[in-house]
Structure 1
């Protein structure tokens, strides 16, 4: 009775959170024509007009667009093209494959080492198992890098596995409460944020190891030729930069800014006027919040693999700035590709694995045959605070509507007494089970949603957190189900009403219509096609063995020859001196440089960065020893635990060998003391190291960062008054630095002086006599900015090039690791692929022909 009274009281009490009843996105056929225009939920509580955002318990963010912070933030990011300038929305054709392009499928004959990096739950990992299996059919070697607990799940599918650490359940629980890693005071006091940030650092290191280290079980060498990852793995772009290889992102929810609908984790409030711009801004804000919470963790890890740090402004926009290919794993029958997404972003369809073998229990078969198809009710890996109350609500609703139900126990442990109309089921493949259902009620996970729609089942989503409300709204507006029913608002009456909606003929017809559209979709195959089409085929193909990827270049003759790991070792077996002549070949080289919009902001951000570095060195004299001392103590505690385990084993062996336990203990403790450095000594060294970096950072800031930022800002300034900006090339080393500096000076003087005459002429042709005045103004502005940019650049670019060359020479440990692992894999390939003498001779002849 107490529980019932409490539940009734909760039903009567208005929620203080912004629930999912805010106006959802338009139905899928209208997404490209209109934008999501949310209204203001009357139950939303905003602390004050100046509160920019509020992080909710369900992992979503309320964004107040009337706050001064959001208004200022919005000026830093473009909202996209004007409404009138957007092209007509694409038309979904069910006769065509749902793939990203109308181009015919292109065969791919280069067999790559592909690492797939995934952070998340089992539902996040499962689609990538299907992807990895399809990639294997194309001849690729596939390694799936994810949490340790999924090892058997991955290996049983026939894929290689690499553990990256991290506890997905713990991480998910933390991200639900702190999606931007901006924790509550309670979280800080409990120490949870420190533990989770350490977990993120551990996963970043694990992702890097998955790209370059051998298989932990059999020791087979592996160096990645390409990376596929979901965005929450975070390491993807940085690993690709270090290796110089292509990276391709894939995800089950929208992560790219669009005017069509807001970020799935964002609830927009107080939006007046331009909803499309607000939708687009929501993505920038969520990205910025995420980077703000993780930037120091990522930059510390980047330093460990000898990459330069990324600043606060550039970090959130890396994928967009670098134009990283993106494939979204949902059906365009439900959510088509928005027309403001660029060509390198695809919507391919849901990823479905092959139906697993499943032998149903006899009592399940008997239950299914005893009456009309039941409805499925289950919440997967969601853990409920009051499972008993939820089960009572479900049973009351099922009894009221008069339907049969299969209730999944799940992590919520929804277990009751079986009856004629209710069956409780343990883990069962949805692919098999949903084929026997009449409708489904679930939490709105992307995989469960996909399976239900594929079977043409009316769907009710009961969203708990994250992107689940997004999928619930999309289903509701397709007509395939009612509006989402949040669990905190779920009563027996409300659930019964929703189930009755599911049983309507028109709801079933809408669900079946989506299923028919999905029939011709082959999401996994389309995604593989998308991945292949974005790869630089010519750069990746070995000139000697066409089905092998090139990782080395050898200058011999008129042009460099691209050589694979296998071909290199075959050649070295004949000419041992050749190894020293091999140079690393990057198939997708790129650098992450600070973006300078104008001279004022550019110089200002560089000055700010320099002052922050100097301040960090000064405060680091105190904070670094504390941090290092704490880390060393924790490391010593772990080593002591490991040593205790080893000690017990050695003592057991000593007892078996009648050896003195005392002498064993003495040996162990002596070795332990010899190996373990002093935590206090390391802390003192950390303080001295922080002070030692003060002068180098100050010199770098004032002699390199600030002049370079000012030069680049002045170089780009003409864009703001409609003038063209010349591309003088990129600085990659000392040689290119002097070349770019020379071009900047020469073209700066030429363009600045010639602009006095050319700009009035150009504008006169466009606008007539009025253009003479505007053109003369542009010419005068160019006479100031262009020669100034050239003069400063003549000094800054060579200095930047020299700095890059010095850094490349000094920080070479990661590059040497990559080279060594590639050589080891080449030797392993030679041993595992026995090549005949005629094969070797043919390869040598081909090399001689190319080298001539």
Structure 2
């Protein structure tokens, strides 16, 4: 599927801070006004949005060049990974949103992960329950209707809804569906199996980007995340985002820069449509809202490992991707056992190999018209054809043709070996299967990444240029069929197939997943093949414990639960990126003032809203009998009889009304008090924490703008790390600030002589002011930030309690389960040995 969900017109998108809010504010052309015929976004390089995003791109490129220990452009980590040394077993949840074609590759991945000893749960739409379970994987339903999503994407191929969708209320339904799936993804991380009741708490997450919940679930649990996808989603200058059309005619903008900016544009627009929904859901997990300046670039700024599931023979890995991003090859499952129905077998044996035409789970508005077009093209090309009915049920109302066979579900792995060419919508899985079997391919894209795959196939010579479904007719389809049957197309397809057969996409993806895990942080000290989720601390002893080890040690009275705290092997800290102090402080001030204004308004608005609420209607009045139609009028006699039995007496009614008035008054007072509390909170936190922090980080980061070096100081997660970071920033600021007074002139003199020395004096003086100021102000700012985070963690405990309870329940299950039988005496001895070593 690989689509983004657009803006709900009934819910205004959140304001975008920093400079991006200006990108669409003036009269210059905006992205929303330029949607092409194929539904992709026409990105105008002369628009203000493009210019603004170009500045962001330049800053990011500058950051890459200035990092001391960057890995940009290095080979992916898995190339140095030794799979024989890996012996860690994890609970892995795979979160997938999309069609059957999106889910199927992850079934292959999950099967391979199980071979490595992991427990795997695939969380996706309810309709795929049997499909997943029949493949041997655990399943968790996250909601959402893939058929409805497919139908929506056919009507709205790009990021923006059509007027038809707006009129029909599609946007509101899509946002409601996304909210349902976010909640379902979280439950898939900590809820027991819905069928067996077996406890499950995720220790790692694998997800495709459209599931949207992945980073936030990983942050709430403190576990590693790995993204996997079949379309480009990470910024690169090698090629544009598949959802963007770039017009570079009559422009001096470098192609590489335009390509890079296209990814920023898609992420920006996606966050504009979903940011408020995601932040509202994050609140239910006791997570702070993601700043709107960070939301669009979250995966890249956090350096989340990313694996792309396509063949490097078709699309080589871009050289400007960092080492945590890799290309593994297409995912292929084990070919299923298939015995064709007699009708299909007879058709294949009765003549020359046919072509295949199918659009899988695409839901088409007018299947009869499309069927007619397909049949006309087949006759014009003079070929035999097999047409898959798909979700649109093609061919139901058309005449019988002896050269055409309509079929239902049939494994592509089996069928594509027996046809001459394939014509389809360009889903990554279908494209891969056709190419693996050396079949020339015509892509008729509908939305998402499908035009991208059509273009890649054409560039490789294995098929003609893609035909957008809105431009499809019998003539251009007949020409495409003819091209696919040429010798040149066959040779190109067979060449690709030979290279792809030497790849092992699923196996390489598992290696990439393993290579990017923080193994030392993940391992239990007592059971090294288990993931640590608890921290035991008593005296000098500090140990990381798995669920199983902790429960066994508690049972054997070696430790108590009071001595055990939650352990996060892979904490996620989302900080606001600051470039310089002026805009950083201004943005923080604006956010503070906005919060104060909203809270001040609530002081008056909330009581008025409560007061004007109608009293809840008594459920005892005018209730129809079980056999009565609720819409039918009730006679006066019936009403009287009913009310005689159910209506309270006058005294009770008066007391009820008085009680209701009292309740409403109490709610009004509480609403007003919450407004006062919010006003005070925003004022105190803004003035004494947020703005000093913004200024501090702006001062600290500013040397990067003119090529200066800035040390890493760590992340603030609580009051202890806040004090540590404050002290480190102060020491580094003072030492580096004064050292730069000498270091920068000497460096400049060495590089540019006398002129360089003069520039160095300027840089050194600026660094001294900026770094020492940041160091001094940071003593208050970082300490205050740490205190605020500790207070928030103390107050917001519901999610932490649910995680703790779920982990303990799984630990208890593992101890009592025969499948996890271990020698408890060995675990106890190992624990005592480690404790003795640490206490000596």
Contact 1:463 1:487 survives alignment (8 Å)? yes
Q: Counterpart in 1 of 2:133?
A: 155
Partner of 1:210: 188
Q: How far, CA to CA, are the matches of 1:621 and 1:282 in structure 2? A: 43
Which residue of 702, 706, 729 maps to 1:721? 706
Structure-2 residue corresponding to 1:384? 364
Residue 320 of structure 1 deviates from its aligned partner by 0.8
Aligned equivalents of 1:599, 1:620: Cα separation in 2: 31
Structure 2 residue runs of 5 or longer lacking an equivalent are 1-25, 66-71, 629-641, 647-655
Q: 2:456 aligns with which of 474, 489, 503?
A: 474
Aligned to 1:12: none
Q: What is the rounded CA distance, in whole Å, between the counterparts of 1:267 and 1:567 in structure 2? A: 54
Which aligned segments of 4 or more residues in structure 1 are displaced greater than 4 angstroms?
56-59, 79-82, 89-92, 175-190, 556-559, 618-633, 643-648, 677-688
Match of 2:789 in 1: 804
Q: Does the 8 Å CA contact 1:295/1:315 hold for their aligned counterparts?
A: yes
Distance 1:619 1:479 in 2: 63
Contact 1:59 1:175 (C-alpha < 8 Å) held by counterparts: no
1:76 aligned counterpart, secondary structure: helix
Structure-to-structure mapping, 1:811-830, within 5 angstroms: 811-830=796-815
Residue number in structure 2 paired with 1:780: 765
- For residues 700 and 340 of structure 2, the distance between their equivalents in structure 1, rounded to whole angstroms, comes to 69
1:606 shift after superposition: 0.9
Task: Confirm whether residue 124 of structure 1 aligns to residue 109 of structure 2.
Answer: no
> How far does residue 390 in structure 1 lie from its aligned partner after superposition?
2.0
Please state how far the C-alpha of 1:700 moved relative to its aligned partner: 1.1
User: How far off its partner does 1:584 sit?
Assistant: 1.6
CA distance in 2, matches of 1:781, 1:483: 56
Distance 1:682 1:450 in 2: 63
Preserved contact between residue 154 and residue 363 of structure 2 (Cα < 8 Å): no
Separation in structure 2 between the aligned mates of residue 631 and residue 200 of structure 1, nearest angstrom: 30
**682 and 467 in structure 1: CA distance in 2 versus 1, 3 angstrom threshold:** farther
CA separation of 1:187 and 1:498: change in aligned 2, threshold 3 A: closer
Aligned 1:715-754 pairs, distance under 5 A: 715-754=700-739
CA distance in 1, matches of 2:524, 2:625: 49
Aligned: 1:849 with 2:838: no
1:552 pairs with one of 513, 534, 539: 534
The answer for unaligned runs of 5 or more in structure 1 is 1-46, 93-97, 649-661, 667-672
Instruction: Tell whether 2:290 aligns with 1:310.
Output: yes
Question: Does residue 50 in structure 1 map to residue 29 in structure 2?
Answer: yes
Matched, 1:840 2:824: yes
Distance 1:225 1:629 in 2: 47
How do residues 53-92 of structure 1 correspond to structure 2 at under 5 angstroms?
Answer: 53=32, 54-56=34-36, 58-78=38-58
Q: Which residue of the partner structure matches residue 762 of structure 1?
A: 747
Distance in 2 between residues matched to 1:741 and 1:563, nearest whole Å:
31
Residues 1:596 and 2:578 aligned together: yes
Distance across 1 between alignment mates of 2:352 and 2:608? 67
Deviation at 1:103, TM superposition (A): 4.8
Distance 1:712 1:91 in 2: 29
Do the aligned residues in 2 keep the contact of 1:99 with 1:521 (CA within 8 Å)?
no
Following superposition, the deviation at residue 357 of structure 1 comes to: 2.2
TM-score for the superposition, normalised by structure 1: 0.84
Give TM-score, length-normalised by structure 2. 0.85
2:562 maps to what in 1? 580
Tell me the CA shift for residue 488 of structure 1.
Answer: 2.3
Residue by residue over 1:449-499, the C-alpha shift from the partner in whole angstroms, topping out at 9 and shown as x without a partner, is: 111111100000111111111111110110100111122222222111111
| 2:247 aligns with one of 265, 269, 281 | 269
Deviates more, 1:731-740 or 1:53-62: 53-62
TM-aligned CA distance change 1:157 to 1:80, over 3 Å: same
Q: Deviations over 1:338-358 (max 9, x none)?
A: 111111111111111111222
Q: Which moved more, 1:548-557 or 1:791-800?
A: 548-557
The offset of 1:616, in angstroms, is 3.2
C-alpha contact 1:59 1:177 (8 A) present in aligned 2: no
1:567 aligned to 2:552? no
Q: 1:740 to 1:631 in 2, by over 3 A?
A: farther
Cα 1:803–1:267 change in 2 (3 A) is same
Distance apart, 1:841 and its partner CA: 1.8
1:149-202 deviations in whole A, cap 9, x for unaligned? 111111111111111112222234445556787556665554433332222122
SS at match of 1:588: coil
Deviates more, 1:472-481 or 1:695-704: 695-704
CA distance in 2, matches of 1:191, 1:220: 40
Pick closer, same or farther for the CA change 1:142–1:328 going to 2, 3 Å: same
Q: Which secondary structure state, in structure 1, belongs to the residue aligned with residue 139 of structure 2?
A: strand
Q: Which residue of 2 aligns with 1:321?
A: 301
Whether the 8 Å contact between 1:181 and 1:193 is mirrored in structure 2 is no
Structure 1 pair 726–343 and aligned structure 2 pair: CA distance change class (3 A)? closer
Q: Residue 313 of structure 2: which of 305, 316, 333 is its match? A: 333
Q: Give the structure 2 partner of residue 464 of structure 1.
A: 446
Which residue of structure 1 lines up, in the alignment, with residue 273 of structure 2? 293
Q: Structure 1 residue 238: deviation in Å?
A: 0.9
**1:396-421 superposed Cα distances (whole Å, 9 cap, x missing partner):** 22112211111111123221344331
2:176 matches 1:192: no
Partner of 1:526, secondary structure, is helix
Deviation at residue 630 of structure 1 after TM alignment: 14
Distance in 2 (alpha carbons) for counterparts of 1:453 and 1:540: 39
Alignment CA distance shift 1:352-1:834 (3 Å): closer
Q: Shift of the alpha carbon at 1:141?
A: 0.6
Alignment partners' CA distance in 2, 1:321 and 1:626: 43
Matched residues, number: 770
Contact map agreement 1:99 1:349 (CA 8 A) in 2 = no
Does residue 165 of structure 1 match 2:143?
A: yes
**Secondary structure of the corresponding residue to residue 555 of structure 1:** strand
Aligned to 2:331: 351
Using the TM superposition, give the Cα deviation of residue 100 of structure 1 relative to its aligned residue in structure 2, in angstroms. 5.8
Per mean C-alpha deviation after superposition, the further-off stretch among 520-529 and 169-178 is 169-178
Q: Are the aligned partners of 1:99 and 1:347 in contact in 2 as well (CA < 8 Å)?
A: no
Kindly indicate whether the alpha-carbon contact (under 8 Å) linking 1:763 and 1:771 is maintained by their aligned counterparts in 2: yes
Q: Which residue of 2 aligns with 1:503?
A: 485
User: Offset at 1:104?
Assistant: 4.8
- Describe the superposition over 1:813-845 as per-residue Cα deviations: whole angstroms up to 9, x where unpaired: 211111111111000000103888x92222111
TM-aligned CA distance change 1:795 to 1:556, over 3 Å: closer
Corresponding residue of 1:615 = 597
CA contact (8 A) 1:180 1:286 kept: no
Contact 2:38/2:157 (8 A) holds in 1: no
Offset of residue 733 of structure 1: 1.8
Is the 1:263–1:279 contact (alpha carbons within 8 Å) kept by the matching residues of 2?
yes
- Other-structure match for 2:90: 112
Distance in 2 between residues matched to 1:117 and 1:728, nearest whole Å = 33
Mean Cα displacement is larger for which, 759-768 or 180-189?
180-189
Distance 2:93 2:305 in 1: 16
Bigger shift: residues 692-701 or 336-345: 692-701
Mapping of residues 311-460 of structure 1, within 5 Å? 311-415=291-395, 416-460=398-442
Q: CA 1:484–1:191 in structure 2 vs 1: closer, same or farther (change >3 Å)? A: closer
Q: Distance in 1 between matches of 2:363 and 2:287?
A: 40
User: 1:600, CA displacement in angstroms?
Assistant: 1.2
Cα deviations by residue, 1:44-81 (Å, 9 ceiling, x for unpaired): xxx99634442457542111111223222321222876
Cα distance in 2 for residues equivalent to 1:636 and 1:475: 64
Determine the C-alpha separation between the residues in 1 that align with 2:345 and 2:601.
69
**Alpha-carbon contact 1:105-1:529 (below 8 Å) kept:** yes
Structure 1 residue matching 2:287: 3-state secondary structure:
coil
Once the two structures are superposed, what CA deviation does each residue of 1:309-364 show, in whole Å capped at 9, x if it has no partner? 11111111111111100011111111111111111111111111111222211121
